């Protein structure tokens, strides 16, 4: 069966510090991968998605970036964190290609980031 991991689970960082969040998927090959952010009490905002190694689509212009160095690894980074980067970051995967239409997205446990 497929599993998705995220680390760290929680993170407290000062403003201006760098960020690296990691997501890995097991039990599947060539998945679609996604990064979402959820601000406190709010809905989910899609940040990036990737359909393959080195292929990243950005949805929201910001000081965040994403990379996919390996098939089942997705990394979210920032060179300098802002207060507004605080939130709950969720990684998700879906099968590729889906047989018909979009396959279900399955989510990881999330990383709770607090920028002080």
CA distance 39 to 45: 9
Residue 115's φ and ψ, nearest 5 degrees, are: -105, 125
* Least distance between other proteins and beta carbon 82 (Å): 22
Footprint on this chain of other proteins (rule: CB under 8 A): 32, 34, 42-44, 46, 49, 51, 57, 59, 88, 90, 92, 98, 100-102, 104-110, 112
Structure tokens at 23: 């997501």
* Least distance between other proteins and beta carbon 8 (Å): 13
* Least distance between other proteins and beta carbon 92 (Å): 8
* Least distance between other proteins and beta carbon 59 (Å): 8
CA distance 67 to 49: 10
Cβ distance to other proteins smaller for residue 28 or 106: 106
Cβ distance to other proteins smaller for residue 11 or 44: 44
CA distance 65 to 83: 16
């Amino acid at each position: 069966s497929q599993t998705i991991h995220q680390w760290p689970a929680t993170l407290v960082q000062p403003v201006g510090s760098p960020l690296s969040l990691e997501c890995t998927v097991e039990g599947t090959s060539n998945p679609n991968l996604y990064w979402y952010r959820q601000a406190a009490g709010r809905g989910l905002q899609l940040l990036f998605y990737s359909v393959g190694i080195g292929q990243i689509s950005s949805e929201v212009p910001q000081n965040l970036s994403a990379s996919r160095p390996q098939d089942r690894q997705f990394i979210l980074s920032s060179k300098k964190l802002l207060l507004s980067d605080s939130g709950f970051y969720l990684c998700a995967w879906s099968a590729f290609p889906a047989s018909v239409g979009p396959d279900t997205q399955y989510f990881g446990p999330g990383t709770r980031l607090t920028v002080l």
